[in-house]
A = this chain, B = another copy of it.
Amino acid sequence: MPLYFIGLGLGDERDITLRGLETVRSCDRVFLDGYTSLLRTDLGQLEDLYGKKVTIADREMIEENVSSLLEPARTGNVAFLVVGDVFGATTHHDLVLRARQLGVECRFIFNASILTAVGVCGLQLYRFGETISLVFWTNAWRPTSWYEKLEANRRRGLHTLFLLDIRVHEPSEESLARGVKVFEPPRFMTIADAAQQLLTLWRERAQLLGRETDETGAGAFAYDSDTLCIGLARVGQVDELMAVGTLKEFSGKDFGPPLHSLVMPGDLHAVEAEYLASLPRASSLQTLLV
C-alpha cells in the first residue's frame, strides 16, 4: 500500500509519464500538492484524463493535518502529485519521513524540473552553481542572503538560476493580525520583480560604497544594471518565452503568465555564447509595464 510521489512535469496534464498515469489510475486516493507549486492546467481536465477525483493538499493540510493524507496510505494506494519533479520542494522530504515513521512505504516517479529544463536557454547544466530562491520582499522582511550565494557563483564563473517566489493559499498579514485567516489570491514573482529586487540591492550597496556604478573585478559588486541575464517564462509549455537582456531592461518587461525564472550567466564557452546570441533580445519584446 505505497504512497506514490508522482512528478507531473512542467506543462499540463499530458506531461505525466505513462508509468505515472498507470500508477495514478491504480490509486484509491489522489492528492495534488497545491502548497509548493501552481498547477498549470485546469483541475477538471486533469481529473478527466486521470479518471480520478483529485484533492488539493494545501499548506494547512501538509503542515498541520498531514494525517488526512498519510492515514489513507496505511490501507490503500495513495498518489501525491507534484508539479515539476518530486523533490523540488523541501517539504516533501519531511512528508517521506513522516510516512516512513507510520510504516508507509514511499515510491517515487520522477519528472521534468525547471532545474534541468533550464538547459533550454543554452547554458550547460554542469556549469551552474548553487540555485537561488528569491522571495517577495515586504516592508518588514527583506531577505538578502541570496547575495552571498550569487557572489560565490560569480566568482567561480558559474551560471546562476533564480527560482522566483510563488505564494499559493497564503493568509494575509492583516488577517493573521486579526486572528482570522483570510487567504490572499495566488501570486507569483515576475522576471521584472526579480530584476527590480536585484537592482534595489545593487543601488543601496553601491551608494554605501560611495559610487553609483560598479567596476568588475575584486571587491566589486557581483553585478550591475547592465549585467546580461536570460528571462524564461512558462518553460515546457506551448507559450514558452525566453529572452536575453540586461537587468535594467528586464525590470520593465512583462513576460506574461507564470511561472518565471531568471538566469545570470557566468563565464561562457564558445557554444554557450553562440547559443545565447541566437536567442531573442529583451529589447524586442513589447513593454507592457511602465
Instruction: Choose the segment among A52-60, A67-75, A80-88, A212-220 that binds chain B (4+ C-beta atoms closer than 8 Å).
Output: A80-88
**Is A125 located at the chain interface by the 8 A CB criterion?**
yes
Contact A158 B130 (CB under 8 A): yes
* In the bound complex, CA of A88 to CA of B163 (Å): 20
Q: Determine how close the nearest CB of chain B comes to the CB of A233; give it in whole angstroms.
A: 15
A9-B17, A88-B116, A110-B116 given; 13 more Cβ-contact pairs under 8 Å: A7-B112, A86-B117, A86-B119, A86-B120, A87-B125, A93-B122, A93-B275, A97-B271, A108-B236, A110-B236, A111-B112, A126-B131, A127-B130
* In the bound complex, CA of A87 to CA of B125 (Å): 7
Contact residues on A (Cβ < 8 Å of other chain), bracket: 35 or more
30 contacts between A and B (CB under 8 A): A10-B110, A11-B19, A14-B19, A14-B22, A15-B19, A17-B18, A85-B112, A85-B119, A86-B119, A86-B120, A87-B116, A87-B117, A87-B120, A87-B125, A88-B125, A92-B119, A93-B122, A93-B275, A97-B274, A110-B112, A110-B117, A110-B235, A111-B112, A115-B115, A125-B131, A126-B131, A128-B130, A128-B131, A129-B129, A130-B156
* In the bound complex, CA of A200 to CA of B178 (Å): 63
A124, A129, A152, most chain B CB atoms within 10 A: A129
How would you classify the secondary structure of chain A's contact residues: helix, strand, loop or mixed? mixed
What residue of chain B has the Cβ atom nearest to residue A156's Cβ?
Answer: B152
Interface 0/1 of A20-59, CB less than 8 Å to B: 0110000000000000000000000000000000000000
**Is A113 located at the chain interface by the 8 A CB criterion?**
yes
**Is A135 located at the chain interface by the 8 A CB criterion?**
no
A residues whose Cβ falls under 8 Å from a Cβ of B: 7, 9-11, 14-19, 21-22, 85-88, 90, 92-94, 96-97, 100, 108-113, 115-117, 119-120, 122, 124-133, 152, 156, 158, 163, 235-236, 271-272, 274-275, 278
